[in-house]
């Protein structure tokens, strides 16, 4: 689990003009940052409205005498996915995963709650996928959720192989701005 600064849900205008180069290799957090930058780009250019869900926090104690400061709380597991929003009227819901493996994405990183949630998204007619980042290969794939669900529920393997991801998913070419233009693929796959 990651420990956010609590500002994930804010529209951070500074992100849009952020010109620091993004180094992917072996720096996991930059993948999430690049996704957030892409979402800021989509927001500013009226392309889509996609937000990162904040990591849920269980608040145990609030000090009301001191400006309602939270003095005891802890992070909880995300029961849904990282991102959701609206694109061309359709509901979009996706999860970002990264792995240092060069051959597969382990199911160890996918809680059963997430699978359950994503099945419901599909049932209700939403668009649902994974963005999978292979750190060592510096490759990002968009994989529709149905392939993940099939592999997950078959229980034959404990991971989904890169070759299956390549066969059923789509490589996202990294661009200048937005860096991870995943909506270009969403257009091709879901709006053709």
Report the interface residues with a copy of itself, using CB under 8 A.
Answer: 3-11, 43, 46, 48-49, 51, 53-54, 56-59, 62, 67-76, 78-80, 84-93, 117, 120-121, 123-126
Nearer to a copy of itself, 126 or 137 (CB): 126
Label the pairing between strands 127-134 and 90-99: parallel
In the complex, minimum distance from the CB of residue 48 to a copy of itself, in angstroms, rounded to a whole number: 6
Nearer to a copy of itself, 73 or 171 (CB): 73
Half-sphere exposure of 3 (CA within 13 A, CB side): 2
In the complex, minimum distance from the CB of residue 84 to a copy of itself, in angstroms, rounded to a whole number: 7
Nearer to a copy of itself, 91 or 107 (CB): 91
Which of these, 105, 108, 107, 100, lies nearest to 162 by C-alpha position? 105
In the complex, minimum distance from the CB of residue 176 to a copy of itself, in angstroms, rounded to a whole number: 24
In the complex, minimum distance from the CB of residue 59 to a copy of itself, in angstroms, rounded to a whole number: 4
CA dist 187 and 183 (Å) reads: 6
Count of CB atoms situated within 10 Å of the CB of 87: 18
Nearer to a copy of itself, 74 or 176 (CB): 74
List phi, psi (to 5°) of 141: -120, 145
In the complex, minimum distance from the CB of residue 50 to a copy of itself, in angstroms, rounded to a whole number: 10
Cβ atoms of residues 4 and 82 within 8 Å:
no
CA dist 25 and 27 (Å) reads: 5
CA dist 54 and 179 (Å) reads: 22
Nearer to a copy of itself, 123 or 176 (CB): 123
């Amino acid at each position: 689990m990651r420990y956010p600064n609590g500002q994930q849900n804010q529209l951070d205008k500074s992100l849009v003009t952020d010109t620091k180069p993004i180094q992917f290799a072996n720096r996991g957090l930059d993948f999430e940052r690049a996704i957030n930058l892409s979402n800021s780009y989509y927001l500013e250019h009226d392309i889509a409205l996609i937000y990162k869900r904040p990591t849920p926090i269980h608040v145990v104690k609030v000090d009301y005498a001191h400006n309602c400061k939270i003095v005891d709380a802890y992070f909880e597991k995300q029961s849904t996915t990282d991102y959701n929003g609206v694109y061309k009227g359709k509901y979009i819901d996706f999860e970002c995963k990264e792995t240092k493996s060069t051959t597969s994405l382990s199911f160890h990183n996918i809680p059963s709650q997430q699978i359950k949630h994503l099945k419901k998204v599909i049932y209700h007619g939403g668009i649902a996928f994974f963005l999978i980042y292979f750190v060592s290969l510096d490759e990002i794939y968009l994989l529709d959720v149905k392939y993940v669900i099939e592999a997950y529920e078959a229980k034959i393997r404990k991971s989904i192989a890169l070759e299956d991801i390549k066969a059923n998913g789509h490589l996202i070419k990294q661009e200048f701005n937005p860096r991870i233009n995943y909506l270009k693929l969403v257009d091709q796959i879901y709006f053709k």
